[in-house]
Amino acid sequence: MRTEPRPSTAWQAMARRPWAFLASGWPWRAAAYLLSGVLVGAAAVLVLVAGLVAGLVLLVVLVGVAPLAGVVLAATAVAAVERWRLRLVDDDPAPDPHRPPSGPGPRAWVASRLTERATWRELGFTLVSACALWWLDVLVLAFAFGLPALCFAATDGSTWPWTVFGALVLLASPWTVTSWAGARAALARTLLAPRDEELGAQLQEVRAARSRLLDAFDAERVRIERDLHDGAQQHLVALGLTLGLLDLDLPADSPARPQLARAQRQLGDAHRELRDLLRGLNPPVLADHGLAAAVRERAGRLPLPVAVDLDLPGRLPPQLETHLYYLVSEALTNVARHSGASRAAVHGRYRADLLVLEITDDGAGGADPALGTGLTGLADRLAAVDGRLRVSSPPGGPTLLHVEVPCHFG
């Protein structure tokens, strides 16, 4: 037996079968929403009128700004009550759009609220509620319940059609009340908690989370570099010293000498590979001399020639500099491993608060971020710093990675 999904709003409840809707609590919740709206609207009218009159009267003696500011701040209380009331007809809670105050104390709270766009939007909702919405609530409730009561009260032998009319209006009242409650709630939510702002806040949180993940990854990279430097590299050095002492102790004609020489060569190769790995994980030149020098040093260790032309006016913030170094490094590694290129180039310029990097190669082309290649990781790293990546890589090449990152040099 198929069951209907549980509605989460008053309008969704009205779409159910009539008996299911009437047997639910939604008509009562809608009536409670409109009745409480009448009370809140009447209170808002009193507060607004009192605040405006006091502000205009006292404005003559230059102290009327405080009551007027009080009216604006009172609108935030009206909006908070409305967001709480929305739960009666919408199970999805409306989020509070206000940011935490910039500091402790009431002065910081007032300053934060008066400078927020959400506060002035809440003032607009309070004015609409006081001037129109609660009056409409009264009219809908009067039509749905007051009119049938009048029809029943005026009933006698000659006015029975009014009794029938009142009964029909009363039977339709659950739909009348719920439909207006749903419309009113949709308007209130649009003014007090716009979906685009909710999505914007969620998007900012996703970006912040992605940035934190990349920062954690870079911090882990530094930790691994430090552990390898202090651990594995020191063990290799100690092993080299041991093999050197063993070489001194062996006779010149010992048959073990060729094997020992081979072990020393292999140890030297492993030590060089480890040094290259450590230099790539956390290059000291990046911290000491900046992005351009670090990219040149990285390009010099690739198996193909890379022309580096980075003309930067100064040093970038350390975090952004690290992100961009690893981006260029990963891009060049992809070129060396997968493109089949014979040469590559890195070009960078700073124009109007925008750093533009172009990484090109003469390889086979065909690079596509949609295929889940290393370009996806580059795009993710750029998104964490609000950057943008464009790729041009036709089959047969050449390939161009165009990177734009908003930034300011110190």
* Residue-number span of the structural domain to which 348 is assigned: 289-410
One domain, residues 51 and 188: yes
Residue with the bigger pLDDT between 134 and 209: it is 134
One domain, residues 51 and 146: yes
Given a cut of 50, whether residue 1 has pLDDT beyond it is no
Q: Is residue 200 part of a domain?
A: no
Highest mean pLDDT among 130-144, 286-300, 312-326, 386-400: 130-144
HSE-CB at 25 with a 13 A cutoff on CA atoms is: 10
One domain, residues 176 and 216: no
Alpha-carbon distance values, 403 to 150, 389, 409 (Å): 73, 5, 17
Alpha-carbon distance values, 23 to 28, 30, 254, 272, 348 (Å): 10, 14, 100, 78, 69
Please give the full DSSP string across 142-155, using - where no structure is assigned: IIIIIHHHHHHHT-
Burial of 214 (0-12, 13-18, 19+ CB in 10 A): buried
For CA atoms 96, 102, 106, 111, the dihedral sign is: negative
Q: Is residue 73 part of a domain?
A: yes
Q: Is residue 5 part of a domain?
A: no
pLDDT score, position 139: 92
Given a cut of 70, whether residue 282 has pLDDT beyond it is no
pLDDT score, position 2: 47
- Mean per-residue pLDDT over the chain, rounded: 78
Angstrom distance (rounded) from CA 43 to CA 131:
12
Q: What is the mean pLDDT of residues 79-83?
A: 88
Whole-angstrom Cα Rg for the chain: 36
Please give the model's pTM, rounded to 2 decimal places. Answer: 0.50
CB–CB of 16/4 below 8 Å? yes
Q: What is the mean pLDDT of residues 205-226?
A: 61
Highest mean pLDDT among 174-183, 197-206, 275-284: 174-183
Q: Is residue 202 part of a domain?
A: no
CB–CB of 236/271 below 8 Å? yes
Angstrom distance (rounded) from CA 30 to CA 85:
10
Q: Is residue 70 part of a domain?
A: yes
| Tally of structural domains, the chain | 3
Q: How many residues does the chain have?
A: 410
CB–CB of 325/295 below 8 Å? yes
282, 298, 325 — which closes off a domain?
Answer: 282
One domain, residues 305 and 333: yes
Given a cut of 70, whether residue 272 has pLDDT beyond it is no
282, 301, 330 — which closes off a domain?
Answer: 282
Q: Is residue 157 part of a domain?
A: yes
One domain, residues 253 and 115: no
One domain, residues 184 and 270: no
266, 282, 298 — which closes off a domain?
Answer: 282
One domain, residues 133 and 240: no
CB–CB of 129/123 below 8 Å? no
Residues facing residue 89 across a β-bridge: none
One domain, residues 169 and 95: yes
Q: Is residue 187 part of a domain?
A: yes
One domain, residues 142 and 92: yes
Alpha-carbon distance values, 364 to 95, 150, 341, 398, 400 (Å): 51, 85, 7, 7, 12
Alpha-carbon distance values, 176 to 21, 76, 131, 148, 271 (Å): 13, 30, 22, 13, 81
One domain, residues 307 and 388: yes
Residue with the bigger pLDDT between 211 and 386: it is 386
Using DSSP's 3-state secondary structure scheme, residue 78 falls into: helix
CB–CB of 388/404 below 8 Å? yes
CB–CB of 197/95 below 8 Å? no
Residue with the bigger pLDDT between 174 and 268: it is 174
One domain, residues 349 and 243: no
One domain, residues 35 and 168: yes
Given a cut of 80, whether residue 27 has pLDDT beyond it is yes
Vertex 191, ends 12 and 187: CA angle to 5°? 35
Q: Is residue 2 part of a domain?
A: no
Given a cut of 80, whether residue 398 has pLDDT beyond it is yes
Domain CATH for 384: 3.30.565.10
* Secondary structure, 3-state, 367-398: CCHHHCCHHHHHHHHHHCCCCEEEEECCCCCC
Angstrom distance (rounded) from CA 58 to CA 54:
6
Pairing of strands 354-361, 399-406: antiparallel
